[in-house]
Every structure is written in structure tokens, then in C-alpha cells.
Structure 1
């Protein structure tokens, strides 16, 4: 770990909010890494406020690299001080798979207390992008695979939707307050009766720095041009976990994209299912992975 005594007196120091902005790791997670795992050790002002040096920021970036390679946060500290040539070990057996199974079990048993604990633990210890890719998206995909055949599936789905709507909605609300990014309107398509995919996509968009506008119920297609104008949105993301009707995909959505002067993207499982139907349209097929969808959206907004 970095030795604060070696820092020059005039070396720049950064408050936690600025470090969070530079690294993409929220302040709650930075504090958890410090308190629970001693991964970083910032300096303190006389009033106790954290100040981070450049090597602290570099260390945070190294932590992110290990996490992105699948190393559990509990194993990162011992790797940070080893030579850079050290290969990442295999992830601890049962770490992410175990967390997924625990979350699925909490949903299936409607154990809201356990659900809340698991969600908060993940969000506190890992970047949002890691929580999305390693926990939330795989869990939603796994649950949806057997919900059609399972008694009580509707109750489980609505329970998880209500839970995520509250948690993700609160996070987006606070992120929007401080965001200077482009406003993105996210709208669910009509055949998808659930909100899971638009919530995951909204979380990814917020994490990417966009201001997110998300409604509980989908807007009719003919009202979307007015919504885009009034909300001053710079992109429209359409999402669904279903294949949707052929007429909607092949005629109505391309017609909508022709009316708008901003990018229109298709996200969620529908983007994988219907990609070939939209190959010659103005609809940007962004894929079924929320994080990759945001990466693909960025150059469209620049253009």
C-alpha cells in the first residue's frame, strides 16, 4: 500500500467526490474498500475528510482491473503488492455463482430481507458495472428461463420488479441531480409486461453518465416524438425481453426512427432476437447486454 510519508508536500490531493468521478467508483464503495478490506488508505484532513493522492487513484484502478478479471474483492489485497506479471487466479469457487444462487433463492422464496442484504452488499463492494454483469443480468436471465413454466412466477417477477424499481429508481434520481450528460429516454415495448430489462438498461445508462428518463408504463409510440421534444432527450432507447410483433419491428419502429432527429436504439433480448429484421433501418441494434449497449450508444451521440 502507498506510503503517505513519501508524498511530496505539494502533491495534489483529491476529495472523495472527485476520486469517485475520476474512477467511476462511488464513495460508498470506496469507504467499504477502506474499512472492510484495507485496500486503500487515504489521508485525512483535521476534520476527518478523506484525501486521496495520485497513487491512491492508481491503486483504485488496479483494484478495478482485478475485479473485472473475476477476482473476488476479498482476494484483491494480496494481489495488489505482487509483481504485475502475476496472473489472476481462478475466481473463488462459488463466489459469483454462489451470490447468484443466493439472490435467485431470495426471489423464489420472496425473502425481501435477504434480497435487500445481497443487493446492498454487492452495490457497496463492487462497481455498478460489475454488479450488473456478474449478478443482476445473469440472475434476471436465469429467472426468466423458467418463469414461464413455474407456479408463482408472476408473484416472483412482480416482487423483484418492485424491489429493483425502488433501489434503482432512487439511485437514478440522485445521479440525475448531479449529471450534466445527455438525457436518454428509455421506453419499454408493448409485449413486455415486466420492467426488469428497462431497469437494468436504465441503471447502465445512469452509470455511463447519462440523465435517465424512465416511466413505469410504456408510452404509446405515437407520443414518443412529443416526449423526446418536451424532455429535450438526446437519444431514445427501446427495450423488451420479448420478440414483439413483426409489424411493430419491421414497420412501426423504423417509421418512428425516421421521425426523430436523434439516435434510436434497441436494447435487451429483443435486440438479439430481431437484429436481422432491422439491418436496413435507422434503428441502432445495441445488443442485449446493458453495459455494451451504452458503449455502442456513445459514438451515435457524437455523430
Structure 2
């Protein structure tokens, strides 16, 4: 498959490089690959999409409307073609259009593309990051982000229920601290951990400190995993960790977990959901075997 640099695409489409960058960044018309030096690489399909958009804009159509017209057929075709799995932009498009049929097709195609753990690490997490970036740039509003997140949450919850343990595995409590609401990554981790045979008790988002303490008192789990997705979650996560440290082994994970691990004697999980789940399940199983 041919790949084109930006200057070549500019020559082929008659669109200035600055405009090509704007169309990609603002409207997500194409999702370009990158070289190691972070230069854009365009596929033949990208060139065709940009050529068509240039034609529509040249005919007087607004760039935003042209972007919607050229992107949806391309995204739908990608999902219909088994050899072309959904891209991370598909979630952004679903958030912009509120199209439940399209969103279901995106998720169906993505989760059917490989092993669940590979899909979660290789597609879902990067796709959610792109969705968050689109929200931060104003290309997606809160309602659109919630529309997509709700659908993803339902999918992950289904996988979590399907992985219900048969019994006998170590019990681990998983959740978020008070005022922390970004739960899709930690729910995905809980799915992976449960599929490793661990008896996960998932608490969800915004769990008060006293809720964590009461849960540990009741269950006496092998470990408690506290998610720290963002910098705003560091302080409340620290409050949870401080109360749990004397009671149970505490583990932290997420994008801001390092800030908590620096201040407390806790274990920090690696960023790979599947890798972190496998490592923790192995450690807990080994500890159970040597326990008196």
C-alpha cells in the first residue's frame, strides 16, 4: 500500500498543508499514520477522502459539513470490511453524531477484531484517549462523550459479568477514590483481572473513604486496587490509601498513580491493562500457595 507525505498530498489534492492539518485536527477527516519522526503518512484512502472533501469545499460547502459527508461513508466502510478494523476516530464521530447504530457497529467490529485483552489495550484505551482529546479541543461536547462512554461502559459491564469466577480465587477490591469519575479504564482492568481467575469486587466511581474501609473490613481481601486516572484524583486517592495501608495490601494504577506511589508504600501497576492483571493474578496466586 502506498504512503504519501504531506507535501505530496498537497500536490495531489491542491490543498495547502496548513489546511490539511486543520481538517485532520479539527474535523478528524483522516487518521494519519506517523513516522518515528512524527511526520504524517497518508494512505491512498486518505488521499481519496481529502480529494473529495476539497471538491465539496470548492463547490461552496462548509468545511464542517463536507467533513461529515466524507467521513461517515469511510468509517462505515471500514467497519463493514473485516480487514479494516475500526479506527480511534470512529468513537469521535459517534460522539459527534449521536448515532447508536453506527456506535454499535464500531464496538461490534472492534471487539470482534481479536482477543479481548488485545482489543482493550490496543484499541479501546487509545480510542478513549482520542475521544478525551476531542472533548478537550471542543470537537465533542459533554453529551456526546457521555453517549459514547455509556455504551462502552455497558459493553465492559457485560464482559465483567460473563467472567464471573467459579469460586476459590483471591478476592480483590477494585474502584476509584472519592470525586473520581473516569472509570472506563479501571472497569476494563477489572474485566481483565476477573478473566485471570481473580474474584474481583468492583466498587465503581466516587467511593468514599469510609466505603473503602468498610468493604475491606467485611471482605478481608487479598488486595485493594485504587485507580488514580488524573492529577485531580491524587489527593483523594492518597486519603484512601492512608486509611487502607494498615489493613490490606494496597495497589494503585492509572495515569496519575505514580504521584501516589511516591508518597506511600504501595505497589504501582504497569499501564498495560492485560499485563497488569496477569502480573497481579500471578502474584496473588503465588502468595496464596505459600500462606500458612
Shorter chain as normaliser: what TM range? Answer: 0.5 to 0.7
Match of 1:218, SS? coil
Aligned equivalent of 1:283: 266
Runs (4 or more) in structure 1 with deviation over 6 Å come to: none
Is the CA contact (8 Å cut-off) linking 1:191 and 1:242 kept in structure 2?
A: no
User: 1:239 and 2:222 equivalent?
Assistant: no
Match of 1:99, SS? coil
Once the two structures are TM-superposed, the CA of residue 141 in structure 1 deviates from its matched residue by: 1.3
Is the CA contact (8 Å cut-off) linking 1:161 and 1:195 kept in structure 2?
A: no
* Correspondence list, 1:75-114, <5 A: 95=84, 98-114=86-102
* Correspondence list, 1:215-226, <5 A: 215-226=203-214
TM-score (norm 1): 0.58
Match of 2:224, SS? strand
Give me the whole-angstrom Cα distance separating, in 1, the residues matched to 2:225 and 2:121: 19
Once the two structures are TM-superposed, the CA of residue 254 in structure 1 deviates from its matched residue by: 4.1
Number of matched pairs: 204
Deviations 1:13-45 (A, max 9, x none): xxxxxxxxxxxxxxxxxxxxxxxxxxxxxxxxx
User: 1:265 and 2:251 equivalent?
Assistant: yes
* Correspondence list, 1:139-158, <5 A: 139-150=127-138, 152-158=140-146
Match of 2:133, SS? helix
Once the two structures are TM-superposed, the CA of residue 156 in structure 1 deviates from its matched residue by: 2.2
Once the two structures are TM-superposed, the CA of residue 289 in structure 1 deviates from its matched residue by: 2.7
- Cα pair distance change 1:110/1:213, threshold 3 Å: farther
Match of 2:112, SS? helix
Unaligned runs of 5+ in 2: 1-82, 288-292
Aligned equivalent of 1:183: 171
Q: Which is greater in Rg?
A: 2
Match of 1:176, SS? coil
- Cα pair distance change 1:287/1:177, threshold 3 Å: closer
Is the CA contact (8 Å cut-off) linking 1:241 and 1:270 kept in structure 2?
A: yes
Give me the whole-angstrom Cα distance separating, in 1, the residues matched to 2:154 and 2:234: 33
* Correspondence list, 1:1-303, <5 A: 95=84, 98-150=86-138, 152-178=140-166, 180-244=168-232, 247-248=235-236, 252-261=239-248, 263-271=249-257, 275-279=258-262, 281-301=264-284, 302-303=286-287
Match of 1:238, SS? strand
Is the CA contact (8 Å cut-off) linking 1:164 and 1:199 kept in structure 2?
A: no
